[in-house]
Structure 1
Amino acid sequence: MCLNLPQMQSRLLLISPGQSYRLAPYLKAAERLGVSLTIVSDSRYSLTREVADGIQGDFTEPSALLDAIIAQAQTTPFSGVVASDDSTVELAARIATRLGLPTNSIASATLSHRKDLARRQLQAAGLPVPEHWQLDLAREIAPQLQGLPYPVVLKPVSLSASRGVIRANDPDEAAQACRTIARIIAPLSNPIERQTLLIECYLPGQEVALEGLLQQGVFTPLALFDKPDPLTGPYFEETYYITPSRLPDAIQQRIRQTVADACRIYGLHQGPVHAELRIDGNQVWILEIASRTIGGECSRSLDAVLARPLEEYVLAAAMGNPLPVERRSGASGVLMIPIPRAGVLRRINGVQEIRTLPHITDIRISMESGQVVETLPEASSYLGFIYSTADTPQAAEQALRNAHRALDITIDPLLNS
């Protein structure tokens, strides 16, 4: 049941894990728009208290958290709710529904977070999805891997950023992948997400990512990114994102329409959309539709092609005052600096040189010397990000490749204990 609240003011709720790297872009966007943010975090050690009002609570036990939010809303009304990460989209939908604010339904938010449920929904509606199966880690594994049309891709049903996504060419590789993914998802709180894997036929082709916004069910594309490096496995580490896309116009239109159709099938009608797709010839396959933005650091690559930062569009739309989308000419790109090997990061040389290279606008290193780093499929973060702008996508991509070659990364092996 919705609550009757006083007249809305320009204050938004941002639901975010305490250490999310998407926090900073949203805080900056709110400051530029003159919007007050209250951040709902799951961590007592969140840094957000230093820069914004905050409410801390247990995301896995939302009842007490909801009570605290509703109590604050009686004296400080909210005009919208935004989820920063996949892990918070369902909670954000529950909070907004309880407050009577515009939101996606809880069911549609769940679909955007759970790959297994989304596959079933899209297939029932007739949209192209890879042939797929569910695997139950609580049952004997080997029989569930027999008879599959290898190669296949195994993945968790709820993680993102290619974490735990593994290609297997035969049952033995698939069994090893199951053991690896089981270790990765063991800490998850949801028992279904902790014991369920999705298995899909491996799809050849090029991957792309589409960023967009939904407002009252209308999908507005913001940017289509090419991923020029082949993603063939066994792991699927994302590196280069380049926009605008160099795909034929007809394929780009099909991508946009497919994502809009998928959002409608999910029941999504409000907020940001980040879609991942594979293109094989003229066939467009949906890999993922998430109801959140591209990662906070990656979103900075859009600054060169949009008149405003991405997060400003999201916050304004959440308040019911969407900003007109204005685009700039030219191209931009971002390199998510891959971790070449697991171990202890000692140094990254070449950063100052890279800042002087043509078309490079910035480089940001996310990890510190002495930090233990992991590679995929376990890794959940990157060494950092390099950004470029140029007149053409080809030049933006080449600038990033030149910058990557200029990096000298030293990682020492971990000592066995």
Structure 2
Amino acid sequence: MVALIEDYIPGQEIAVEGLLDDGELTLLAVFDKPNPLNGPYFEETMYVTPSRQNKSILSAVQNQLAIACRELGLRWGPIHAECRLNESGSWIIEIACRTIGGRCGQLLESSTGRTLEEIIITNAVGQKADCRLDVEAAGVMMIPVPGRGGVVRRVEGIGEAARIPLVSSVEIDVRPGQMLVPWPEGCPYPGFIFANGEDPESVENALNAAHQQLDIILAPVLPLQVTND
């Protein structure tokens, strides 16, 4: 009999985008996740870069990830990692040979001065990706499903959210009639808010201010029972 015993790892969570060039790891961006991500389950709601962690912590994270990549046999291409930071150090939650997912990839252009696609293709053909790190602060709010979820009627406040200073775009994906299901079952995010600014704190504040302007109007999901008479 085999038993798997797991323990919850507390602490602040960060996401790391890196690029491997013949085993050498370069960090493209480190994203803070400012909102508390506590169990038993949660959804990610915000990425902000550059990280506000001190340089010694980020250097330790880079060294730890480089060792993990070598042990996994990863030598070329992008890596995406999730780590937890606490008084005991850095803990790798996930490391995968992939890029950041979905539209969040556009944040790399703000932090490096080049698009994610340019960076990956340049690396794939054996050339050095010339990136200027931390060109400006950038962040994204992955809009969470409100309350207990329900059927979308409409989304109000989009224009007001888009007019918040530093907000670059408000992208709403849900449509009337679509069902939103909260975690732990979960469903796609209702949309995304992007912001750019001089420092990560201002970006975080802009994202929160824009989110407060949005009101996703939901109708309850009525139970339906089918019987065969």
Same fold, TM-score > 0.5, yes or no: yes
3-state SS, counterpart of residue 117 of structure 2: helix
Deviation at 1:309, TM superposition (A): 1.1
Partner of 1:303: 109
Task: Indicate yes or no: 2:116 matched with 1:344.
Answer: no
Instruction: From 394, 397, 406, give the equivalent of 2:213.
Output: 406
CA distance in 2, matches of 1:394, 1:282: 26
More strand by share: 2
CA distance in 1, matches of 2:101, 2:21: 21
Task: Indicate yes or no: 2:85 matched with 1:279.
Answer: yes
Whether contact under 8 Å (1:207, 1:276) holds in the other structure is yes
The change in CA–CA distance for 1:260 and 1:380 in structure 2 (over 3 A counts) is: farther
3-state SS, counterpart of residue 15 of structure 2: strand
CA distance in 2, matches of 1:377, 1:290: 23
CA distance in 2, matches of 1:345, 1:319: 45
What code does the residue aligned with 1:342 have? G
CA RMSD of aligned residues (A): 1.5
The change in CA–CA distance for 1:254 and 1:282 in structure 2 (over 3 A counts) is: farther
Partner of 1:395: 202
Task: Indicate yes or no: 2:163 matched with 1:356.
Answer: yes
CA distance in 2, matches of 1:327, 1:284: 22
CA distance in 2, matches of 1:295, 1:369: 25
Identity of aligned residues (%): 45
Question: Which residues in structure 2 correspond to 1:161-310 (within 5 Å)?
Answer: 200-310=6-116
Question: Which residues in structure 2 correspond to 1:100-179 (within 5 Å)?
Answer: 134=4
Deviation at 1:394, TM superposition (A): 0.6
Question: Which residues in structure 2 correspond to 1:312-323 (within 5 Å)?
Answer: 312-323=118-129
3-state SS, counterpart of residue 59 of structure 2: helix
CA distance in 1, matches of 2:106, 2:135: 16
CA distance in 2, matches of 1:379, 1:322: 39
List runs of 5+ in structure 1 lacking aligned partners: 1-132, 135-198
3-state SS, counterpart of residue 367 of structure 1: coil
CA distance in 2, matches of 1:321, 1:348: 45
Deviation at 1:380, TM superposition (A): 4.2
Runs (4+) of structure 1 exceeding 4 A deviation are: none
What code does the residue aligned with 1:373 have? L
Whether contact under 8 Å (1:301, 1:388) holds in the other structure is no
Task: Indicate yes or no: 2:139 matched with 1:333.
Answer: yes
Deviation at 1:369, TM superposition (A): 1.5
Bigger RCO (CA 8 Å, 6+ sep): 2
Instruction: From 180, 205, 214, give the equivalent of 1:373.
Output: 180
The change in CA–CA distance for 1:218 and 1:282 in structure 2 (over 3 A counts) is: same
3-state SS, counterpart of residue 201 of structure 1: coil
What's the CA shift string for 1:59-106, capped at 9, x where partnerless?
xxxxxxxxxxxxxxxxxxxxxxxxxxxxxxxxxxxxxxxxxxxxxxxx
What code does the residue aligned with 1:284 have? S
Whether contact under 8 Å (2:29, 2:133) holds in the other structure is no
Deviation at 1:328, TM superposition (A): 4.7
Instruction: From 369, 386, 400, give the equivalent of 2:193.
Output: 386
3-state SS, counterpart of residue 261 of structure 1: helix
CA distance in 2, matches of 1:401, 1:264: 39
State the structure with more CA Rg: 1
CA distance in 1, matches of 2:117, 2:222: 42
More helix by share: 1
The change in CA–CA distance for 1:206 and 1:328 in structure 2 (over 3 A counts) is: closer
CA distance in 2, matches of 1:300, 1:337: 17
Partner of 1:22: none
What code does the residue aligned with 1:234 have? P
CA distance in 2, matches of 1:413, 1:312: 45
Give the structure-1-normalised TM-score.
0.51
CA distance in 2, matches of 1:383, 1:267: 37
3-state SS, counterpart of residue 297 of structure 1: helix
Q: Give the total of aligned pairs.
A: 221
What's the CA shift string for 1:149-198, capped at 9, x where partnerless?
xxxxxxxxxxxxxxxxxxxxxxxxxxxxxxxxxxxxxxxxxxxxxxxxxx
Whether contact under 8 Å (2:143, 2:192) holds in the other structure is yes
List runs of 5+ in structure 2 lacking aligned partners: 225-229
What code does the residue aligned with 1:378 have? E
